């Protein structure tokens, strides 16, 4: 698309695009995370301070810049803005930047980027509140269906198989928790999350995503037990959080890892 432009203009346009899209992602993410945590609708009322309920203007919402100008406080009541807000702003802009540097500007990449943005929101909500958001899951399901049907529709039957594999793994994990940790019930949202990832990644990437999440989970659990005095039951940590991290890595490097693997076994 940008082939006829001089390299300097191309870089300026790309950087502007990254900042604009990253900022929009960051504003939507912070807004959505707060509302999901409070069970509020996502679009109304317009963005507001969660301490004094003052409606925020566009000047108060410029990612990173507004936070630094107001020194991390609400400009209306002076309450501290959670540090998580600026961390999300930085990570969303970084995510978009890395993504565009690696994959360039194209429609499938934009959908994958959006999927990644939701995964970052899932990671944060899981970490803060231990809830896997139903509305985010539904949105991810919709994105995955569009992604497969618009760009990979011949893969659709394999994607359905992959969806079943993803949910089956999470079902087994839940049964494992019930038998070994005596947890009370099966978390159906986790199983839905596995299904959505299965649909999005397809075969064989979903296997890689699950394998990687087990590896991260094992390291995470061991570190927490050994150095932070967690109980041994932490060996089976809360999974959606780790699965989402693994999925983010897969979006960025999954195809590279598979490529290396195929070259290695040939
Ligand atoms: Zn306020």
- Assess whether pLDDT exceeds 60 at residue 2: no
> What is the model's pLDDT at position 161?
93
pLDDT digits (tens, 9 = 90+) for 170-215: 899 888 888 887 777 888 888 999 999 999 999 889 999 988 998 9
Q: Are 134 and 165 in contact (CB under 8 A)?
A: no
CA of 136 from ligand 1 middle (Å) equals: 27
Average pLDDT over residues 42-67: 84
- The dihedral built from the CA positions of residue 153, 155, 157 and 161, taken in this order, carries a sign that is negative
- For residue 265, give both structure tokens: 């076994």
- For residue 172, give both structure tokens: 């087994």
CA of 24 from ligand 1 middle (Å) equals: 21
Q: Where are the alpha helices (DSSP H) in 6-155?
A: 7-37, 65-69, 83-103, 107-129, 134-151
CA of 114 from ligand 1 middle (Å) equals: 29
Angle between helix axes 134-151 and 156-181 (nearest 10 degrees) is: 150
CA of 73 from ligand 1 middle (Å) equals: 8
Interatomic CA distance for residues 168 and 160, integer angstroms:
12
pLDDT digits (tens, 9 = 90+) for 210-257: 889 989 988 888 888 888 877 766 666 667 888 999 999 999 999 999
Interatomic CA distance for residues 126 and 133, integer angstroms:
8
Interatomic CA distance for residues 178 and 191, integer angstroms:
14
Average pLDDT over residues 78-100: 89
> What is the model's pLDDT at position 261?
87
pLDDT digits (tens, 9 = 90+) for 25-38: 888 888 888 787 77
> What is the model's pLDDT at position 237?
62
> For the purposes of burial, counting CB atoms within 10 Å of the CB of 133, is it exposed (0-12), middle (13-18) or buried (19 or more)?
buried
CA of 95 from ligand 1 middle (Å) equals: 29
pLDDT digits (tens, 9 = 90+) for 134-176: 888 999 999 999 999 998 888 888 899 999 999 998 899 888 8
């Amino acid at each position: 698309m940008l082939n006829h432009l001089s390299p300097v203009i191309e870089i300026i346009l790309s950087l502007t695009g990254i900042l604009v899209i990253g900022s929009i992602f960051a504003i939507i993410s912070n807004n959505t995370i707060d509302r999901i945590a409070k069970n509020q609708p996502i679009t109304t009322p317009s963005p507001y301070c969660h301490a004094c309920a003052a409606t925020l203007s566009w000047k108060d919402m410029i990612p990173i810049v507004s936070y630094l100008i107001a020194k991390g406080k609400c400009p209306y009541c002076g309450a501290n803005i959670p540090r998580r807000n600026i961390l999300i702003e930085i990570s969303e802009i970084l995510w978009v930047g890395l993504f565009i540097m690696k994959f360039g500007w194209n429609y499938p990449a934009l959908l994958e980027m959006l999927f990644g943005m939701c995964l970052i929101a899932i990671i944060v909500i899981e970490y803060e509140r231990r809830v896997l958001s139903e509305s985010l899951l539904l949105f991810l399901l919709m994105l995955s269906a569009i992604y497969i049907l618009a760009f990979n529709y011949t893969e659709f039957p394999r994607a359905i198989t992959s969806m079943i594999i993803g949910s089956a793994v999470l079902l087994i994990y839940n049964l494992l928790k019930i038998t070994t940790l005596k947890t009370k019930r099966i978390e159906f949202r986790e199983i839905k999350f596995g299904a959505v990832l299965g649909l999005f990644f397809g075969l064989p990437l979903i296997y890689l995503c699950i394998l990687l999440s087990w590896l991260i989970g094992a390291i995470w659990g061991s570190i927490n037990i050994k150095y932070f005095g967690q109980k041994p039951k932490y060996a089976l940590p809360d999974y959606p959080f780790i699965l989402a991290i693994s999925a983010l890595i897969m979006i960025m490097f999954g195809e590279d890892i598979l490529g290396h693997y195929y070259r290695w076994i040939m």
